[in-house]
Amino acid sequence: MTNINEKIKDIITKNDVVLFMKGTPEMPQCGFSMTVSNILKELKVKFSGVNVLADPELRQGIKDFSNWPTVPQLYIKGEFIGGCDIAKEMHENGKLKKVLNSI
Amino acid sequence: MAIKQEEIHKLLKEGFPDADIEINDLAGDDNHYAAKIKSSKFKGKTRVQQHQMVYASLKGKMGNELHALALTTEEK
């Protein structure tokens, strides 16, 4: 438990934009993960896709860490931005681009 | 692993008594829903906090019995 929290902290500290997702950016395994991954690609953002399906401990750990029951989860500069709905909403109203431009 | 629309509505209404709630079954499989919730309880909260409040009202069902719930939250 503590270990996985440390591991997640490490990932979101070392990478500016992290998407915890099912599958990979090249091959998403879930429609919601694909949606967020495609938004980031569209914005031409360099991001780190972390496949939670490859690590059962991480799959549960990220839910506890963020107090968020679902995947995908988007982190920017160590801050939890939200899941698919919020990412979509922020993309549509331009806020996501603003946040990404400021990093 | 499915949940009835009425069950979701009941849980949301318990969590947000003053809310206007609109639920749509997206795939007709009791598993993929979209919900629009308008409540005064969202006032002053961030989107993340608002969605966390909704998930809390669903008492652990989100991500388990309930696979997908697209959320739109709004202040009333």
Which class for A69: exposed (0-12), middle (13-18), buried (19 or more C-beta within 10 A)? buried
Class level of CATH domain B5-75: alpha beta
Q: What is the pLDDT of residues B18-67, one digit of tens each?
A: 999 999 999 888 888 999 999 999 999 999 999 999 999 999 999 888 98
Helix (H, G, I), strand (E, B) or coil at B60: coil
Q: Which residue has the tokens 């993929």?
A: B32
Q: Which residues contact B44 (CB under 8 A, 6 or more apart)?
A: none
- The ranges assigned to domains in chain B are 5-75
In a 13 Å sphere around the CA of B63, the CA atoms on its Cβ side amount to: 18
Helix (H, G, I), strand (E, B) or coil at B23: strand
Chain B positions in Cβ-Cβ contact with residue A82 (cut-off 8 Å): 47-48, 51
Q: How far is A81 from chain B (nearest CA, A)?
A: 7
Does B62 sit within 8 Å of A86, measured CB to CB?
no
Sequence letter at residue B42: F
Q: How far is A70 from chain B (nearest CA, A)?
A: 6
- Asked whether the whole model's pTM tops 0.80, one would answer yes
Structural domains of chain A sorted by starting position, each given as residue range(s) with its CATH number in brackets: 2-101 (3.40.30.10)
What is the predicted ipTM? 0.89
